[in-house]
Amino acid sequence: MAAAQSETPIFDQIDALPLPHEQTQFFGHQEAEQTLLSAWQSGKMHHAWLLTGPKGIGKATFAYRAARFIFQDGSDSYSPLITPSDLGVDAGSHISRQVANRAHPNLLSIERPFDVKGKKFRTEITVDEVRKTTKFFGATAGENTWRVCIVDPADDLNTNAANALLKILEEPPIKTVFFLISHAPGKLLPTIRSRCRRLNFAPLENPILSQALAELEITPPDITERMSEVCEGSLRKAAELQSEDGMLLVHAFERLLTPPYKPDYETLNHLGDLVAQRGKDQRFANFSDLVFRHLSTHLHQKMGEGGRQSQAAMALATAWEEAGEMMRETMIFNLDKKQTVINVMRLVSKALRG
């Protein structure tokens, strides 16, 4: 299902996946949901939650799901007949429609701003974005309920923005909940982490993963099972692979890494062209993920067979480090992606032969 079009682009959106604030279906993460629900129902709701885990597994969707619930259940006029058992809110309700349009007066989303003149997103979340909280918290609540502020992702806060957010977290407004989404919490200020209650999210697993791929119409039915094997539990990665002809990349990659692990130059050259194609920047990231997934699978296998110090395991571990360094340098210094792909594949093939 394609994301709805917006006058102002939303950072990190892709056509094959509904935007988190639009998504009312939710898959998995029951433990995280019950943890938050219990805190809310106990009357001891923490003011800031740090949602951590790999990208694309549902953290932002969870934050907006929680926001809808808080707006509804936190309203002075709301009296449910039975105690809610999850965070679900009727998809057709006024609150759900407001959140889907990001028009709820008690919702503030902080993310990378779009530079209209430059027609691109800023590379970080600026302090001006965080300063929007001043007006947000200074105004009278638009609805007779709690306020929710979502920072997505908090990893993108620059130093000034992080310090500005920290001041708010140190003296939080009443009846306010912050959700900080983080793919790499180690990048955050320790003082920000210390003021948040952490909720860890794990990649989705089957059968829930395949169910989500099918119900969200991310992949055609005939490749849902195969996609669930390569998307690493991430609906976003599945959507990226689908939208970027990613399965073509997966098949080309896997054909090269089959015994006897001696890829010929012509085939390597073809894969390099595929990954480095102009205008397909996501493909290099997908290629990197495939490399690490493949090495990780073989490394765990070899460690199980002969232990950590076996020659085969050490060869794969060395390849992991060297391949990672090659790909990082390629991105940092804008090196030739095609040549990097060829070099990495030769490196990985040699390690597998060893």
Please, what is the Cα angle at 43 between 37 and 47, to 5 degrees? 75
> What DSSP string runs through 259-325?
TT----HHHHHHHHHHHT-TT-THHHHHHHHHHHHHHHHHHHHHHHHH-TTSHHHHHHHHHHHHHHH
Residue 7 has pLDDT above 70, yes or no: no
Query: Is the pTM of the predicted complex or chain greater than 0.75?
Result: yes
314 within domain boundaries: yes
Q: So what's the pLDDT on residue 219?
A: 85
- How many domains would you assign to the chain? 2
The 10s digit of each residue's pLDDT in 147-204 is 999 999 999 999 999 999 999 999 999 999 999 999 989 989 999 999 999 999 999 9
pLDDT at position 307: 57
Residue 81 has pLDDT above 80, yes or no: no
What pLDDT is stored for residue 304 in this prediction? 66
Q: Does 210 reside within a domain? A: no
Question: Does some domain include residue 310?
Answer: yes
What is the rounded average pLDDT of the residues 323-335?
92
The region of weakest confidence among 12-21, 137-146, 159-168, 235-244 is 137-146
Residues in the chain: 354
What's the order of all strands across the beta sheet hosting 197-200? 107-110, 147-151, 176-182, 48-52, 197-200
DSSP string computed for 205-233: -TTHHHHHHHHTT-S-GGGHHHHHHHSTT
Contact of 246 with 260, CB cutoff 8 Å: no
Shared domain check, 148 and 89: yes
Q: Are residues 252 and 137 in the same domain?
A: no
Here the CATH number for the domain that contains residue 145 is: 3.40.50.300
Write down the residue that tokens 């060297």 correspond to.
322
Q: What is the pLDDT of residue 2?
A: 40
pLDDT of 102-137, one tens digit each?
A: 999 999 999 998 888 878 888 899 999 999 998 898
Question: What is the span of the domain harbouring residue 270?
Answer: 244-353
In a domain, 276, yes or no: yes
